[in-house]
Amino acid sequence: MPDDQGFQREDLRRRTKSFALRIIKLYGALPKSTEAQVIGKQLLRSGTSIGAHYREAVRARSKAEYISKVGGGLQELEESIYWMELLTDAALIASQNLDSLIAEANELIAIFVTLANRAKLN
């Protein structure tokens, strides 16, 4: 289902892929403690699946499927923020190291919410 809501499809593909790559680099830089690795793996899973959900949404065969895939991406974004908050709240990584990643996640959330809402209205 095309997303002609004013967002450039390629730009969002690039942003979600860039976000995933940043998550991968973050995971590689985490301390090797059990706590950091367990939380990091959760973040790795959620943070790298956002772009996959978006790509699936673009290829959706129906409006309902499109909305579902965009909703899946939203869930993964919220989960990613949760894991990043845990990393900082548990003092496993300095919060300033995650500020720009969390900001990007929040921007992506705003975009995905807009995509879902506009699809529901059309």
SS3 content of the chain, % helix, strand, coil (to 5): 80, 0, 20
Segment 83-117, tens digit of pLDDT: 999 999 999 999 999 999 999 999 999 999 999 99
- Percent of the chain at pLDDT > 90 equals 91
Predicted confidence (pLDDT) at residue 2 exceeds the cutoff of 50 = no
Q: How many CB atoms lie within 10 A of CB 58?
A: 16
Domain ranges of the chain: 9-121
Fold of the domain spanning 9-121: de novo design (two linked rop proteins) (1.20.1440)
Q: At what angle are helices 9-29 and 34-58 packed, to 10 degrees?
A: 170
Radius of gyration from C-alpha coordinates of the chain: 15
Those residues whose C-beta lies under 8 Å from the C-beta of residue 88, and which sit 6 or more positions away, are 94, 95, 98
DSSP E strands in the chain: the ranges are none
